[in-house]
A and B are shown apart, each in its own frame.
Chain A
Amino acid sequence: MNWLNTILILALAYVAVFLEGSFDVIRNLLGAQITLLPALMVYASLTAEIGTVALLAVCGGLWRDSFSIDPLGASILPLMVIGYIIMWKRDLLLREYQFVQMALGLAAGAVFPLATLFLLLNVGREPLLGWGLVWQCVVGTLTGGVLAPLLFGLFSRVRRAIEYPALNQSSFREDREIKRGRQ
């Protein structure tokens, strides 16, 4: 497990959950809450190992639920399912392409609220259902699609800044040089 990547992902999830709960400017502007967790899960499941994906699902879900009336654990399973499905097929995904990142972000943004809601209804909760939910899904989907490529770019920059650059090794070897002309 790459601990630096894991720590960066969890730190961003921690700050993002706090900002979602504490600052309502965007929420009041859009009439819906935007969330970073689905897009972050897309990034984690495409670049990290299963341990990081599970940690993000558990920690991110618990942090988010602690701000909400959702029962504790309601956000964990939707996040885990998103991460797990992407991990399952990630060898087949062209993860370097922004289009693919955006498509996965869109899908994750749409699935997350719906899966959470499905879980809530199945544990006997009665959330507010109305046009607000439809709008929330639309905003969540678009947010996921926009944020996923941005996160890839952000993490790439951060890792370039704090990790050693990859050593460019030349294939030239002195002992295998073909000497021309007379010695």
Chain B
Amino acid sequence: MLNKRHYIILALVVLLVVVLLSLPGRTEGRLKLAIKGLFLPLTGLAAWTHEATAGNGETLTSKRELLRTNAELRASNQLLTFQLRQASNALGENERLRLMLNFRRQKPAWNLVPARVIARDPETWWRSVWIDLGSGTPGMRTNLAVLTAEGALAGKVVSVGKTESRVLLLGDPGLLVAVFTGTNRLSGTLTAGSAGVPGNNMAELENLFGESAGRTVRPGDEVVTWGVAGGVFPAGIPVGRVVDVPRKDYGAATEARVRLSANLDTLENVWVFILP
């Protein structure tokens, strides 16, 4: 049975929740990072165990050198694939620039810094992960683009702690990305859409304006970031491919479903674009 003490404690907890829920976003973010800091010993222990396990695995195998070379080649291959995509995008952009005299090249030189995913959001109704780069990494700050190892867009940095940062992934309701459909250059906004379905690596492409008989969006079209001035994401990063375009009954804008290039459920290593 309950007594007076029970009611007082319940009231105190409710009061605490009300205070916490009404905290300003910045204070809440700092408080979260501070509380998350309590897990640093376990994070360190997990990283050490991970490395120790990997080390033991190498000593046990007789193909250690082969495995190491293989890993290096894989990493090198990923980097080259990414650079090839970048080069291809740069070439396309260059051609468009030649055609459009007033278009200025806005893309500055970006540094790519590798990071490891160390934790995930425990709630399935959000899409976010924690990476092992913090304010100790030069240039690390919020609103930096995050790419998969293969160079596809994964998300953006939303908060930076001392040793770790939170990345909001594509498919989260809080992340909107301005994109182009590759061939027709139709601009639109990538939103969460049906990302609530587990294992469904899909997003919704909305507000596709400017469609005409010669400029339509079709299944298979590549979707890349637009790179609007002052935006977070640089232009030309691959986002995904159009899967289907539902029939439009009303409204001026078209919508499409996009299968994301990044497999966000199995992210382990990512690149962070850091401004020089």
Contact = CB atoms under 8 A, between A and B. Distances in A.
16 contacts: A15-B42, A17-B39, A21-B120, A21-B122, A24-B265, A66-B35, A67-B36, A68-B128, A87-B6, A88-B1, A127-B123, A131-B196, A132-B125, A132-B197, A132-B200, A136-B124
Interface residues of B, number: 54
A126 interface: yes
B173 interface: yes
Given A69-B121, A87-B2, A127 B17 contact: no
Nearest to A79: B13
Interface of A: 14-15, 17-18, 20-22, 24, 27-28, 31-33, 35, 50-51, 54, 57-58, 62-74, 76-77, 80, 84, 87-88, 91, 116-117, 120, 123, 126-133, 135-136
Contacts of B31: 72
Interface in B228-247: none
B199 interface: yes
B125 A22 contact: no
A156 B100 CA distance: 75
Interface of B: 1-2, 5-6, 9-10, 12-14, 16-17, 19-21, 23, 28, 31-33, 35-36, 38-39, 42-43, 46, 118-128, 130, 166, 168, 171-174, 192, 194-200, 265-266
A71 B38 CA distance: 18
Contact of B192 (A31, A72, A116, A128): A128
A132 B185 CA distance: 33
Contact of B17 (A27, A73, A84): A73
Contacts of B2: 87-88
Contacts of A18: 39, 42-43
A20 B39 CA distance: 12
A72 B32 contact: yes
A22 B46 contact: yes
Contacts of B192: 128
A65 B32 contact: yes
Contacts of B23: 72
User: Which are the 3 A-B pairs with shortest beta-carbon distances?
Assistant: A130-B196, A73-B20, A31-B198
Contacts of A68: 121-123, 126, 128
Contact of B9 (A54, A117, A127): A54
Contacts of B16: 58, 73, 76
Main secondary structure of the interface of A (DSSP, over half): helix
B172 A128 contact: yes
Given A22-B43, A67-B130, A76 B20 contact: yes
A76 B15 CA distance: 11
Contacts of A70: 123, 126
B43 A77 contact: no
A50 B6 contact: yes
A63 B35 contact: yes
Nearest to A61: B17
A62 B38 CA distance: 11
A135 B198 contact: yes
Contacts of A17: 39, 122
Contacts of B35: 62-63, 65-66, 72
Given A58-B13, A65-B35, A67-B36, 9 more contacts: A17-B39, A22-B42, A22-B118, A64-B122, A72-B21, A80-B13, A84-B6, A128-B127, A128-B173
Nearest to A70: B123
Given A69-B121, A91-B1, A84 B10 contact: yes
A118 to B, nearest CB: 12
B27 to A, nearest CB: 9
A132 B196 contact: yes
A71 B1 contact: no
Contacts of A71: 20-21, 28
Contact of A76 (B6, B13, B43): B13
A116 B121 CA distance: 14
Nearest to A67: B122
Contacts of B172: 69, 128
A127 B173 contact: yes
A72 B119 contact: no
